């Protein structure tokens, strides 16, 4: 399976764990208006662990997301597409990468 779209679910963590045991080659994960658990950090950690080669991630309208959950996203090294529409976080610290010309 290349892509997965999950909408308006509270059991998204269980769905992702189940699908990993069937086939772990997911490249694009779209979660829309899903409940991510207590603070979202556990689910994001599982996404990073279960799908390290993810190229596209959408968390549109998903709740709750804390700054520690957001900080896990850069662990997806192949990520080229990210959608965080309608997501709220109160504080995120970002370390800018220095570029050399």
Name the DSSP class of 82: E
- Domain residues of the chain, as ranges? 3-83
pTM passes above 0.75: yes
Residue pair 71/92 in contact (Cβ under 8 Å)? The answer is: yes
Q: Indicate the SS3 state at residue 4.
A: strand
Q: Mean pLDDT across the stretch 5-14?
A: 92
Q: What is the pLDDT of residues 33-58, one digit of tens each?
A: 999 888 889 999 989 988 889 999 99
The token pair at 68 is 């520690």
Distance of alpha carbon 82 from alpha carbon 67, whole angstroms = 16
**Predicted local confidence at residue 10, as pLDDT:** 93
Name the DSSP class of 34: -
How much is the mean pLDDT over the chain? 84
Q: What is the pLDDT of residues 54-79, one digit of tens each?
A: 999 999 999 888 888 888 999 999 99
């Amino acid at each position: 399976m290349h892509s997965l779209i999950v909408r308006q679910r509270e059991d998204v963590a269980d769905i992702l764990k189940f699908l990993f045991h069937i086939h772990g080659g997911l490249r694009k994960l779209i979660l829309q208006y899903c409940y991510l658990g207590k603070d979202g950090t556990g689910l994001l950690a599982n996404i990073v662990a279960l799908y390290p080669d993810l190229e596209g991630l959408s968390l549109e309208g998903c709740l709750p997301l804390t700054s520690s959950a957001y900080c896990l996203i850069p662990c997806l090294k192949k990520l080229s597409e990210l959608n965080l529409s309608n997501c709220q976080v109160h504080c995120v610290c970002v370390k800018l990468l220095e570029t050399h010309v």
